[in-house]
Amino acid sequence: MQLKILITGYEGAPFYKKGGLGDVMESLPKALAKIGIDVKAVIPYYYCIKEKYHLEKEGEFTVTFGSETEHLGIYSTLLPNTKVPFYFLENRKYLFSSNAGGKNKRIEQFAFFNLAVAHFVNWVSEHHHWSPALIHCNDWHTALIPLILKKKIKSSIPTLLTIHNLLYQGVGSLRVLDLLNMKNEETKELKKGKPATEMNILGEGIIYATRVSTVSVSYAKEIASDYDRSPIGPFLKKREEECCNKDGKILGIHNGIDYDIWNPAVDELLYHKFDMNTWEACKKDNKKDLLESLGLPDKPTFCFVGRMVKQKGLDVLIKAINRISRLDVNVIILGSGNLKIQKNVSKIANKFPWVKAEFVYSEELAHKLYAGSDFIIIPSRYEPCGLIQMIAMRYGTIPIASRTGGLQDSIMHGKNGFLFAKGRSIRLKKAIEHALNVYKNKEQYRKMVERAMKTDFSWDKSALLYKKLYEEMLTIDK
Ligand code: ADP
């Protein structure tokens, strides 16, 4: 019988994307469908999605949240170029905004969404005769689903919780449990030690999910080696103590990228499309047009693309830029987020005319940077998987990245990119100099680009690993 999986998360490209999870929520269902899994996805119907897509309402249901009866509208469409149904749940009070302010508002929002997903399972079963064998939850925004299923709905559907970033845990007031009409007792694990005024939603997911995974093998090891310092440590420890070895352990499955979307041969956002045979001339043309559009001269060009948050190590990049001011290069920085970080990036861009910064979220500029840069700098302090290095390599742009998490799992130092000690601007400066030396040696550089472009970052292998994990989970009685 065909394996039926429901996958859920906070975002999903192309409908709504803020970062790598958005990509994964699009590309993983597609890859699973390709290997014969019957997959459906569900995310909130934020107003910004509604405004853009104007989907037809397919049905509705109600849930009780606190003392109120809340109505949910169900909308759906197919994931572009697939037969994967993508569902959206609408509720004006809780699911309207993708960015509800304040931590308590946010955890209420997603507690509500998680309850809604648990009920949506019944709706889909009734209306489409489709019941998931397993629910695949992603990050804290969906990490209450295992608890709700087990303790509230008394459902035995197994759940996989994939951690895309341990930093975001969904910590906030225990009032959420009242809203869910769940007795405090049911989350007793939270109460040990500190006074129980707050709950940690990711922690709940770690305790209650049937299995927990993360998005690279190295990040899984980093999580496991850091229990004592991690605020999530007690949950991880408890899980490992309580489960038999294999089920307690966090499994690392590396994300892939969608080769239909991230493909320079068909990418409509590029000035010039290219493939393995034409990359050399076309990348030059892409670079020329990119630099002209930004008013920069023709020089070796380094870029940065990413959310402007502490994790992404822009402070390390800024320090390194100060150290390389004698080199004749361009640095282009694209990102948005934390205003203080943006201000610091602004300062360095004002100081050096060869540094350009764009504080926007722009798919178009991101694609043009992947295609038109020579190198991409990824100075992350930690990186669970990272998609940017894989996308850049597919576009023949060599990554210079911190030796951490998924970056070190996907970049072979000196072969398809460069790795440097994380957090160290002197090491980044040295890596940039090393990269420039390779760049000057045409043959060596050509080989490196071709190796990068040929490295397999498709979902093929990882989709099979997920399939194997799902199948294993269906034999677990937890
Ligand atoms: P994270 O999930 O931590 O944000 P990833 O490397 O996994 O980092 O994924 C980042 C994704 O978001 C990539 O698809 C990248 O192209 C995109 N992205 C990040 N910042 C921007 C931006 N300012 N403009 C356009 N795309 C961006």
Nearest CA to ligand 1 atom 8: 20
Specify the pairing of strand 418-420 against strand 398-402.
parallel
Nearest CA to ligand 1 atom 18: 306
The residues, ordered by sequence, that sit 6+ positions from 265 with a Cβ below 8 Å of its Cβ are: 273, 274, 275
Spatial contact of 15 and 49, defined as CB atoms under 8 Å apart: yes
Spatial contact of 137 and 205, defined as CB atoms under 8 Å apart: yes
Tell me if the bond preceding 14 is cis, omega within 30° of 0: yes
Q: Which residues pair with 418 in a beta bridge?
A: 400
Per residue in 409-428, pLDDT (tens digit) is: 999 999 999 999 999 999 99
User: Does position 40 have pLDDT exceeding 80, yes or no?
Assistant: yes
How far apart are the C-alpha atoms of 250 and 311, rounded to whole Å?
22
Q: Which of 17, 254, 362, 388 to mutate to test the pocket of ligand 1 (most atoms within 8 A of CB)?
A: 388
pLDDT (mean) for 239-254: 78
Nearest CA to ligand 1 atom 14: 20
pLDDT (mean) for 259-278: 97
With the C-alpha atoms ordered 173, 50, 4, 37, is the resulting torsion angle positive or negative? negative
Which atom of ligand 1 lies nearest, measured to the CA of 358? 23
Under DSSP, is residue 251 helix (H, G, I), strand (E, B) or coil?
A: strand
- Residue 388: per-residue pLDDT: 97
Which atom of ligand 1 lies nearest, measured to the CA of 360? 23
Q: What is the pTM of this model?
A: 0.93
User: Does position 235 have pLDDT exceeding 90, yes or no?
Assistant: no
Model confidence at 457, pLDDT cuts 50, 70, 90, reads very high
Model confidence at 231, pLDDT cuts 50, 70, 90, reads confident
Q: How far is CA 236 from CA 39, 174, 247, 477, in A?
A: 29, 20, 12, 20
Which atom of ligand 1 lies nearest, measured to the CA of 255? 7
Instruction: Identify the CA nearest to 107 among candidates 45, 161, 178.
Output: 178
Place of tokens 């850091």: 226
Q: Which of 167-181, 264-278, 285-299, 346-360 shows the lowest per-residue confidence on average (mean pLDDT)?
A: 167-181
Which atom of ligand 1 lies nearest, measured to the CA of 366? 25
Under DSSP, is residue 431 helix (H, G, I), strand (E, B) or coil?
A: helix
259 alpha-carbon distance from chain centroid = 17
Q: DSSP string of 163-211?
A: ES-TT---EEETHHHHHTT--GGGGGGGGSSS-SSEEEHHHHHHHHSSE
Q: Which residue has the higher pLDDT, 238 or 191?
A: 238
How far apart are the C-alpha atoms of 51 and 74, rounded to whole Å?
15
- Residue 459: per-residue pLDDT: 96
Nearest CA to ligand 1 atom 26: 363
Q: Which of 25, 307, 373 to mutate to test the pocket of ligand 1 (most atoms within 8 A of CB)?
A: 307
| Cα-to-centroid distance, 361 and ligand 1 (Å) | 9
| Cα-to-centroid distance, 370 and ligand 1 (Å) | 12
How far apart are the C-alpha atoms of 368 and 359, rounded to whole Å?
15
* DSSP secondary structure code for residue 310 in this structure: G
Model confidence at 236, pLDDT cuts 50, 70, 90, reads confident
- Residue 243: per-residue pLDDT: 66
| Cα-to-centroid distance, 26 and ligand 1 (Å) | 14
User: Does position 244 have pLDDT exceeding 60, yes or no?
Assistant: no
Structure tokens at 165: 């970033």
| Cα-to-centroid distance, 37 and ligand 1 (Å) | 27
- Classify 4-256+460-473 by CATH class: alpha beta
Structure tokens at 220: 């899984």
Per residue in 143-166, pLDDT (tens digit) is: 999 999 999 999 999 999 999 999
- Extents of the domains making up the chain: 4-256+460-473, 279-454
Spatial contact of 391 and 257, defined as CB atoms under 8 Å apart: yes
User: Does position 369 have pLDDT exceeding 90, yes or no?
Assistant: yes
Q: Which residues pair with 401 in a beta bridge?
A: 378, 419
3-state secondary structure 357-395: EECCCCHHHHHHHHHHCCEEEECCCCCCCCCHHHHHHHC
User: Does position 245 have pLDDT exceeding 90, yes or no?
Assistant: no
Over the Cα atoms of the chain, what is R_g?
A: 23
Model confidence at 249, pLDDT cuts 50, 70, 90, reads confident
Structure tokens at 178: 């009242």
Q: Which CATH superfamily is domain 279-454 in?
A: Glycogen Phosphorylase B; (3.40.50.2000)
Q: Which of 164, 387, 389, 391 to mutate to test the pocket of ligand 1 (most atoms within 8 A of CB)?
A: 387
Per residue in 272-311, pLDDT (tens digit) is: 999 999 999 999 999 999 999 999 999 999 999 999 999 9
| Cα-to-centroid distance, 338 and ligand 1 (Å) | 15
Q: Which residues approach ligand 1 with their CB closer than 6 A?
A: 19-21, 23, 305-307, 334-336, 361-363, 366, 385-388
Per residue in 196-225, pLDDT (tens digit) is: 678 899 999 999 999 999 999 999 999 888
How far apart are the C-alpha atoms of 216 and 383, rounded to whole Å?
9
Model confidence at 246, pLDDT cuts 50, 70, 90, reads low
How far apart are the C-alpha atoms of 125 and 122, rounded to whole Å?
5
Q: Which residues pair with 57 in a beta bridge?
A: 75
User: Does position 378 have pLDDT exceeding 70, yes or no?
Assistant: yes
| Cα-to-centroid distance, 22 and ligand 1 (Å) | 9
Under DSSP, is residue 46 helix (H, G, I), strand (E, B) or coil?
A: coil
Spatial contact of 401 and 437, defined as CB atoms under 8 Å apart: no
| Cα-to-centroid distance, 20 and ligand 1 (Å) | 6
User: Does position 476 have pLDDT exceeding 90, yes or no?
Assistant: no
With the C-alpha atoms ordered 11, 12, 15, 18, is the resulting torsion angle positive or negative? positive
How far apart are the C-alpha atoms of 238 and 298, rounded to whole Å?
56
Structure tokens at 100: 């509800």
Kindly report the average pLDDT of the chain as a whole number: 94
